[in-house]
Structures are given as C-alpha cells and as structure tokens.
Amino acid sequence: MSMVVLIGLLLVGGIAAWQLERIDANLPRWVALATVTLALLYLVSVIAEIPAESFKLTPDPGDGDSWLLHLKLAWIPRFGISLELAMDGLSLLLVILTLLLGLIAIASSWSEIDFKPGLFQANLLWTLAGVCGVFLAMDLFLFFTFWEVMLIPMYLLIAIWGHENRSYAAMKFFIFTQVSGLLMLLSIVILAWQGVATGGELSFSYFDLLGLHLDGRLAWIAMLGFFLAFTVKLPGFPFHTWLPDAHTQAPTAGSVLLAGILLKTGAYGLLRFCIPLFPEISMQFAPVAMGLGVAGVIYGAVLAFAQSDFKRLVAYSSVSHMGFVLLGLYAWNNLALQGAIMQMVAHGVSTAALFMMAGALQQRLHTRDMTRMGGLWQQAPRMGACAMFFAVASLGLPGLGNFVAEFLVLAGLFAVHPGFTAVAALGLITAAIYALWMMQQTFQGAPDEQRQMDDFHGREMLAMVAMILALLWLGLYPQPVLDLAQPVLDGLHGVVTPGEHLAQTMTAGTGQ
C-alpha cells in the first residue's frame, strides 16, 4: 500500500493547498513544500526497509512478485482492470527525480504567483501525483488513467498562469498529447482483445500482456500507437512542435515540471512498454526511430541557435538532448540504455535549472529577449556563475552528468550504426555553439547602467546549489545510478533481443 499512500499524499496535499488559500494566501506554498518533503521522506523510509540484496536482483518482467514493491487490487474485475502498481530500480529512480524537481518547482514559484496561489500549488501537486502514477502503474488501463491525470493540471498551469500567448500554447499542448494518448488507448484495447482471442482472460496487466503474440499488421498498428504517444511526449522530431510554445508560455514551475519530468514519461514509456511489448516489430523499426533521434539532435540544436527568446532556446535544446534518449533506447545495448537513463536524469536537472534561470530573468527584467539583456554578470554575479555552470553542463562538459549520458549513448550507438553516431556527435559541437552564444548574449558585454537588477537570493541559490551538486555527483560518481538501473536492463534484455533486421543494420553500419 506504500505506493498508494505516496500518490495519495500528493493528491490530498493539493486539495489542502487549494482550500487553505481562503485562510492565508501564503499558506499554499508552505503546504506544497511540506507535502512534497513528506512524500520524499516517506519514500525513503519505505525503501530503507527493503533488503539491500533486492536491489541487485534482476526483476522478472513477467513476474511482479520479483520487483522491489508490488501491489495488485481488484478495481473493475468485470473488464480485467486492476489497481496494479509496482516499483523496480528504474521507477524508483524516476519517482525520486520527480519529487526532487517538485521541490525545485515550488521554490521557483515561491514569489512569482499572486493569482489564486492555492489552486496553482494544487495543480502542481496533482501533476506530480499523475507523473508518479505513470512511473508506478503496471495495469495498462491504470497507466493510461494516470497519463491523462498528469495532462489536465499541466494544461491548467499553462492556461491560467502562463504568459501572453498562454491559451494557444496550452491548447496546442493538450491537443498533441491528448490525440496521441488516444492512439495509445486504442493500442491498449487491441492488446487486451488479442489476449482474449488467444484463449486468455481479459486483462490489462503488463505482466499478462508481455510476450503476447500479434500478427504482423496488427502488431505494427499497436506498436505505432504506443510509439506515437510516447514520442510526442518525449518529444521526438517531427512531433516536437508543441514543446517550444508550451515552455515559452508556461510559468517557471510549469517549465521545470515539463522539462524535468513530463518529457521523461515519454522515454519511460518507450523503455517500459513500447519496446518490450513489441520486441520484434520494435527492432525492425529501430533504424527509423534512430533516424528520427539523429534528426532531432541536429534540428533542435540548429533551431536553438536561431532563437533570441531565452526560454525558446532552452526548449529547442531539450528537443536536441532528448534525441540522444531516443538513440540510446533503440540502439538497445547495455551502454546505450544506461546512457539513455542517465540522460533522463541529468537533462531533468540541468534543463530545470536553466528554466528556473529564465523565469528569474523574466521576473526581474520583464523580458525573455536576450538582445535586450547583456552585461548581467556584472550586475548579478551569482546568477551569472550559475548560468555558466548549467550552460557548460548542457553542452556536455566532462565531469558533469550530461557528458556521462551522451558519451554512453554514443559509445553504445557506435556498435550499432557508426554513421548515425558520427552525425549525432555533431550535436555536441552545435550544443557548445548555442550554449556559449546564450551566455555571451545574456551575461557578457557592457551592462546597462540604468538597469536595476537583483541577484539571486538565498532561496534561489539554495535550489541552484542543490542542482549543481547533483550534476557534479552524476558526472564524477555515476555508479549508484548505473547500479540501480542495471538489474532492470538485464531483465528487459531477456525479453528483447536484437532481431535479424537490426543485425543487418549493424553489419551495414560497421562495414562488415
């Protein structure tokens, strides 16, 4: 029941923050902070009770009892739908990331939101609850329910507390994610129906549907439904167009949640559901998926360099960085998969910090236009130093988590397709160009003497220092993260093996 309690804490905390606004407008942010802190401490206490040996065991993808935590309760038994939650090393890693970035989101919105702060904090907490549910749900219908739950409060965060063009951005975000989500629902129904057709009982459990055989055409249709839903959320090229608008118009906390955790639900879905449920078709589709990943790496980096809006630049950089995740997932070897998981974590931290930086600049200068900035380092040296750190983290400086992630992805990809690797490596060069150009436009040059600007205060510096230490830890000592993910990957390797089509691609790519 511990996973239900965790999600319930966030849902109830959201209701409390909403209602306590009537007493004092300052109470909701404290309630939100206390709720996420309590949820994080509760998670730590639950994990502390699990024997250390369990983290080293390979969870059987077809057996929920071998996972760290597993709960299955009847929900709608007539249709084979259950309240099934499970946690392994991968989901634990992502839930911890969700809660930590939830704290960062609350800190970034501490003094930014004046209109209905209670409802704002409620939607923030409900988004966190939905994301945690996505990372824990093992019943596909329940997974889809949480997938929709996390979209609605995020839509409201953008539509109500966003910037000048918020209605358009919120509606575009909702349409893209909702339509692709309905395609996933269709694929889920196809899987459940096929399970009955092959003589089984009606079930939406991941453990019951894993290994289900579908004929070629039906398998392609079902796989593409999952792939489109998850790639839109990733976002992968060419399904990324909602992202720059949503990021630009969202409040700072919304951008932190979008970049830090909502994008990771797409990558998680590909790794947990799309590829294992359709192993043969996924390996046949791998060259196309990797091609989209390479295109996203280069396209996102080039468009990032073309932006004058600080938030749009960081948004397009996310398209580029998440292209590495798509490459790592479909290269499907140990190095590449470890790199993809590390990129999910490191990108969540570094990009959340850059969006917090963008929100702080907009709150102080009332603009996101970098051409109207310049010379800020002299007026706000602490802000400038933090911006430089996260800029070089984004471009993949050795010693930081992003470098470890991208190096592992490229090393694993090279074994599959050296050609894709060579093109994707250009993304490292283009990342250096737009990251350093962003620093030059914003913080270098002569300052405007008539401009008054406050530097980072204690609360903001505390959040920045926490993210700096996280990236340093991931870059200098990534082994705990790799060890936590490795048993999960070993289990998935037992389900998915590179098929004949991918083997031919590997041979062609290496010239053998």
- Residue 465 makes CB contacts below 8 A (sequence gap 6+) with none
Residues in a beta bridge with 10: none
Domain limits, the chain: 278-512
Backbone phi, psi, residue 398, to 5°? -55, 140
Higher pLDDT: 13 or 55? It is: 13
Rounded distance between C-alpha atoms, residue 180 and residue 172, angstroms: 12
pLDDT reading at 505 higher than 70? no
* Separation of alpha carbons 354 and 351, rounded Å: 5
Query: What average pLDDT is seen over the chain?
Result: 89
Nearest to 478 by CA among 384, 389, 426, 402: 402
Tell me the per-residue pLDDT of 371-388, one tens digit each, with 9 for 90 and over: 888 888 888 889 999 999
CA 142/CA 148 separation, integer angstroms: 10
Tokens at 35, concatenated: 């709720």
| Pairwise pLDDT comparison (174 vs 504), residue with the higher score | 174
Give pLDDT tens digits for 473-494. Answer: 999 999 999 999 998 888 887 7
Q: Residue type at 15?
A: I
Q: Is 83 helix (H, G, I), strand (E, B) or coil?
A: strand
How many whole angstroms from its chain centre is CA 371? Answer: 30
CB distance 408 to 342 below 8 Å: yes
Contact 269, 326 (CB under 8 A): no
Confidence check: pLDDT of 59 > 90 = no
For the segment 355-371, what is each residue's pLDDT rounded down to a tens digit? Answer: 999 888 888 888 888 88
Half-sphere exposure of 452 (CA within 13 A, CB side): 0
Q: What pLDDT, on a 0 to 100 scale, did the predictor assign at position 507?
A: 41
- pTM of the complete model: 0.92
Q: What is the pLDDT of residue 131?
A: 95
pLDDT digits (tens, 9 = 90+) for 312-350: 999 999 999 999 999 999 998 899 999 999 999 999 999
- DSSP code per residue over 456-491: --HHHHHHHHHHHHHHHHHHH--HHHHHHHHHHHHH
Q: Whole-angstrom Cα distance, residue 119 to residue 21?
A: 8
Which of these ranges, 13-27, 414-428, 443-457, has the smallest mean pLDDT?
443-457
Question: Who has greater pLDDT, 493 or 351?
Answer: 351
Alpha-carbon gap, residue 232 to 240, rounded angstroms: 6
Q: What is the pLDDT of residue 497?
A: 67
pLDDT band at 35 (very low <50, low <70, confident <90, very high): very high
pLDDT band at 500 (very low <50, low <70, confident <90, very high): very low
